[in-house]
Amino acid sequence: MPFPPISWWAAVLGAETLYLDAHEHFEKMSYRNRYYISGSNGRIQLSVPLVHGRDQRAPMHDVQISNEQIWQVQHWRTLVSVYRRSPYFDYYEDSLREIFESGFNHLTHFNLTTIDWVKQQLKLPIIVIYSCWILLLQLLKKQYSLKTICSKFRCALIFYDERKLLMHYYVELYNTGTITKENYPITQRIFISKRLGDATLFNLTRKDTIYTDVVCPFIGSFSLKALPSGNYYLNTVVEDKNKLILSYRSFFFQVINKKPGTAEETTKKPDPKINETKETKEPVAKNDTSVFEKITLIDIGKTFAIKYNLNELKAILVMMRPIVSPVEMQSINAFLKKPDENYMRYFIYNHFSALNKKDPDAAWKAFTEKVIAVNKLFSSGSNMGYESDRGFVWLKYGKPDQRIEVPNESGALPYEVWQYNNIQGKANNVIFLFYQPAEMLNGYRLLHTTMVGEPHNNNWRTALFTNGNSSGDPSSRVEQLMGTLGSQGNQANH
């Protein structure tokens, strides 16, 4: 960001080295290409024009300045007009003018130049390194676990020191300009909980009040000394003055702490050089060790889930729909609506780990082999086999004991009848009836089944037979099966 605001400098004050990410994506309506000065009639915004405009999502190191406009002349004239009569302006004028008389093609070059200029005027001994995530991870991987967070209202960096048990967070609040003035002030609360939706643990919470519609950066820390080894969530919630939730996100993390301390150790006043947010008293979860489960901590980077990109993870979640519980299905739907690569990997790995604790990879491999088989059998056009009704049933209940294909029975649409002698010890002689409606060029749709919990359609004949009643053929396979096995189907085992 050019000429960062005072809050930004306060956040980095005292640091020995400052790493700036070269590969973060440009965010519109942020400080990345704008800065503000105080004029006689209020705040004045100065923006750096960009090639392709502000709606681009390119990495910062690729963002180019549009020099078709004489923006540097305009910025300098505004600065001189506002500050010419200010004390000591003459002292800074020459070195500052050089910035606006120099040529810049990339936004990062201009931003770094302004940061370096301010650093020199303040005589700060900070080493500024324009880095990238790869370099940052190389420097910190032995000490920290890191993750980036993005949502409509914020982008944040969160990392925690596994040795010192100190979690740091940095949050930028965006798009507050979309909130009407009548709903100000808005509040932002950040807290740690044991489970999603739980109360705050050990008063690990911070609260900020925002009165303006500009980009608001916050930085803070939580001591994790009182937390035993286990899984936790860092939660962020933004509310307007009427307590209407504008944004709510929860972020999973793990703690390694074999000798947890007391709750009081987590509530000590943070170092003001690190934490710029205020502590607040919130309802806290009781210090009851029974809520802390015994777990095996997972390094997701060493599991099969790490090798898949976001689109592949989304596809895997769709593949898993037939085999997950209703609660897991809610999580899958939430992930598909608002993807989060890190959580998705943990979710996928944890599911197959529950199936085979000793060898989750084996459980995953067995499942992928089923998906491959389903795709070979039922893929049609651009639709994968696991997305079809037949693929769903195959993945959920396995290969049928008998599969009867009837593509051209007189008086009937093409159909298939699947028979399961026994399904997972729950039911005997179960039938699934699939058919190909006239509007489907390829593939089959589930029409009826005798399995409890699956679509049951007593009027299946109306859809299957062209006369809406029956084929009139005594040799009809579906009539024969429904007349014998159908009446016996869904007999639960006791």
- pLDDT exceeds 90 at position 328: no
Tell me if 56 sits within 8 A of 50, measured CB to CB.
yes
pLDDT grade for 8, boundaries at 50, 70 and 90: confident
Give the model's pLDDT for residue 473. 66
Give the model's pLDDT for residue 419. 94
Question: Which of the two residues, 393 and 262, has the higher pLDDT score?
Answer: 393
Mean pLDDT across 1-12 = 86
| Percent of the chain at pLDDT exceeding 90 | 24
Give the model's pLDDT for residue 287. 42
- pLDDT exceeds 50 at position 275: no
Query: Distances from the Cα of 125 to the Cαs of 2, 64, 122, in angstroms?
Result: 19, 29, 9
Angle between helix 310-320 and helix 326-337 axes, rounded to 10 deg: 150
Closest by CA to 300, choosing from 259, 250, 353, is: 353
473 CB contacts (<8 Å, ≥6 apart)?
A: 409, 410, 411, 479
Q: What is the chain's alpha carbon radius of gyration, rounded to the nearest angstrom? A: 30
Give the model's pLDDT for residue 492. 41
Mean pLDDT across 220-231 = 81
Rounded to the nearest 5°, which phi and psi values hold at 320?
-80, -10
Joined tokens for residue 254: 């793990």
Torsional sign, CA 342, 344, 350, 356: negative
- pLDDT exceeds 60 at position 279: no
Which amino acid does the sequence have at 431?
I
- What mean pLDDT, rounded, does the chain reach? 77
Rounded to the nearest 5°, which phi and psi values hold at 345?
-65, -45
Q: Which of 237-241, 279-283, 369-373, 422-426 has the lowest mean pLDDT?
A: 279-283
Q: Which of 88-92, 193-197, 247-251, 277-281 has the lowest mean pLDDT?
A: 277-281
Point out which residues pair with 131 in neighbouring strands: 21
pTM over 0.75: no
- pLDDT exceeds 90 at position 221: no
3-state secondary structure the chain: CCCCCHHHHHHHCCCCEEEEECCCECCCCCHHHEEEEEECCEEEEEECCECCCCCCCCEHHHCEECCCCCHHHHHHHHHHHHHCCCCCHHHHHHHHHHHHHCCCCEHHHHHHHHHHHHHHHHCCCCEEEEECHHHHHHHHCCCEEEEEEECCCEEEEEEEECCCCEEEEEEEECCHHHCCHHHCCEEEEEEEECCCCCCEECCCEEEEEECCCCCEEEEEEEECCCCCCEEEEEEEEEECCCCCEEEEEEEEEEECCCCCCCHHHHCCCCCCCCCCCEECCCCEECCCHHHCCCCCCCCHHHCHHHHCCHHHHHHHHHHHHHHCCHHHHHHHHHHHHCCCHHHHHHHHHHHHHHHCCCCHHHHHHHHHHHHHHHHHHHCECCECHHHCHHHHHHHHHCCCCEEEEECCCCCECCEEEEEEEEECCCEEEEEEEEECCCCCCCCCEEEEECCCCCCCCCCHHHHHECCCCCCCCCCCHHHHHHHHHHHHCCEECC
- pLDDT exceeds 70 at position 96: yes
Within 13 Å and on the Cβ side, how many CA atoms surround 35? 18
Rounded to the nearest 5°, which phi and psi values hold at 29?
60, 30
Joined tokens for residue 370: 């089923």
- pLDDT exceeds 50 at position 250: yes
pLDDT grade for 77, boundaries at 50, 70 and 90: very high
Question: Which of the two residues, 486 and 59, has the higher pLDDT score?
Answer: 59
Q: Is 291 exposed, middle or buried (0-12, 13-18, 19+ CB in 10 A)?
A: middle
Q: Which of 111-115, 158-162, 380-384 has the lowest mean pLDDT?
A: 158-162
- pLDDT exceeds 80 at position 277: no
Which amino acid does the sequence have at 72?
Q
Q: Which of 278-287, 316-325, 386-395, 461-470 has the lowest mean pLDDT?
A: 278-287
What is the rounded distance in angstroms from the CA atom of residue 195 to the CA atom of residue 79? 51
Which amino acid does the sequence have at 232?
Y
Which amino acid does the sequence have at 457?
N
- pLDDT exceeds 50 at position 222: yes
Tell me if 236 sits within 8 A of 222, measured CB to CB.
no
Q: Which residue is listed with tokens 């009837």?
A: 406
- pLDDT exceeds 70 at position 195: yes
Domains of the chain, residue spans: 6-127, 143-291, 300-378, 400-492
Torsional sign, CA 183, 188, 192, 196: positive
- CATH number for region 143-291: 2.60.40.2550
Residue-wise pLDDT tens digits, 16-48: 777 676 667 788 778 888 999 988 888 999 999
- pLDDT exceeds 90 at position 219: no
Angle between helix 326-337 and helix 341-355 axes, rounded to 10 deg: 160
Give the model's pLDDT for residue 218. 65
